[in-house]
Amino acid sequence: MDSLPRAQVTVTTLQKMKQRSEKIAVVTSYDASFTTLLERAKVDVILVGDSLGMVVQGRDSTVGVSMDDMVYHCACVARGGESALRIADFPFMSYSSVDQALENAAKLMREGQAHMVKLEGGEVNLKSVEAITGFGVPVCGHLGLLPQSVNKLGGYRVQGRDDASAQQLISDARALEAAGAALLVLECVPVDLARQVTEALTIPTIGIGAGVDCDGQVLVLYDLLGITPGKRPSFSRNFLAGQSDIQSALVSYVQAVKASEFPAKEHGFS
């Protein structure tokens, strides 16, 4: 690990990485200390995910997470931040109208010091994505398994397995890109579908349970370290196993993503 300062990662950096087929390493973080370790491991992007509702707050879903929670954790992460691009999740129902989305995007950017905001869903969000990007805030979409919709979905299940839902996902992905999204998370979708979406878009895709062909990968920090209470998701890997400390585990994750060694076949769905 060298100590040379790294240039700030921006949306342009990520775009160029896709063009060069250079994999993008993303990890979630919720506090300053872990963020410092992630910066040292040279992750490209840090996601302040509303998964904090489950891994930090002990809830059984992300639905209970508030805007105040998100702003608080984003500000903590920003204090440990250096050059990685920081994405802040909009929590449940905090972007249900264009006006609300604009107001909350401003909070995440101004008070949370995020560089980008992320929202779950396709068609329903297009006007908000256009409006937010129109005011100069980069947006990351999120398709496939939408944890905020767990009550509608009836559980945490792989999405896009039948033809109709796969076509809908591709159409949503194209529409989000056309509306101005700069990045797209694909969660728990078949490997072939994630590859099709990745090839169809000019913006980078970041997979979680979506196979190795996405432009980058994201894992929830606690899954990556094997400290998530309960069962580890089958698409994740415990990178702390076999390592002597957390810093080495994070470096090992970044290297595995960059070398397309993670995710392996057994971490994907068909």
Which residues contact ligand KIV by CB under 6 A? 28, 47, 49-51, 89, 185, 187, 208, 218, 220
Of the two residues 187 and 245, which places its CB atom closer to ligand KIV in the complex?
187
Closest approach of ligand KIV to the CB of residue 88, in Å: 10
Closest approach of ligand KIV to the CB of residue 218, in Å: 5
Closest approach of ligand KIV to the CB of residue 4, in Å: 29
At 27, which amino acid appears?
A: V
Q: What number of helices (H) and strands (E) belong to the chain?
A: 11, 8
Strand partners, 185: 142, 206
Cα–Cα distance for residue pair 91/101, rounded to 1 Å: 11
First to last CA, the chain: 37
C-beta neighbour count of 134 within 10 angstroms: 11
Question: Considering 187, 199, 261, 266, which one is annotated as catalytic?
Answer: 187
Report the Cα 194 to chain-centroid distance in Å.
15
Residue 199 — left, alpha, or beta (φ > 0 → left; ψ -120 to 50 → alpha)?
alpha
Closest approach of ligand KIV to the CB of residue 255, in Å: 21
**Is 187 an annotated catalytic residue?**
yes
Of the two residues 224 and 256, which places its CB atom closer to ligand KIV in the complex?
224
Of the two residues 74 and 185, which places its CB atom closer to ligand KIV in the complex?
185
Of the two residues 24 and 220, which places its CB atom closer to ligand KIV in the complex?
220
User: Which residue of this chain has its Cβ atom nearest to ligand KIV in the complex?
Assistant: 49
Residues forming the active site: 187
